[in-house]
A = this chain, B = another copy of it.
Amino acid sequence: MRMGFSLPSAAREPRHIPPRGTCDRTPRGYKVLAMSEQEHTTHGYSADKEALLKRLRRIEGQVRGVSRMVDEDNYCIDVLTQISAVNAALHKVSLALVQDHIGHCVVDAAARSAETGDATIVADKVEETAVAIGRLLR
């Protein structure tokens, strides 16, 4: 799976303060900047937002299907098979988000670290990413 990817503008224009889009937990403030730049920058998973939302709606429907199976007393093994399908679909969504996060937010943080000489910016981002992946592995 190859997702749309473009180098954050900071990497191409080293003096520029990078817009962070969904790469920051407290997005207030940057939104205006992001807005004015949205023609030439891709933020986080936003490029694939529609695809992600479509997949999530399908997963929601699959969960509803599991409920219906339980309600209609379907055979337990068949219900479990359907739950495995939901797990697999969720894993795909997680993986797409992880890939987008690394490709945008981590790469963007690396550029900011390079610009500012502050290695903790990218180190913190990488650690946060590893913690999130660790939660998925469980």
Contacts and interface: CB of A to CB of B under 8 A. Distances in A.
Main SS at interface, chain A: helix
B56 A137 contact: no
Contacts of A21: 73
Interface residues of A, number: 82
A123 B106 CA distance: 12
Identical chains bound together, number:
4
Interface of A: 1-3, 5-7, 11-12, 14, 21-25, 27, 43-46, 49, 52-53, 56-57, 59-60, 63-64, 66-67, 70-71, 73-81, 83-84, 86-88, 90-91, 93-95, 97-103, 105-107, 110-111, 113-114, 117, 119, 122-123, 126-138
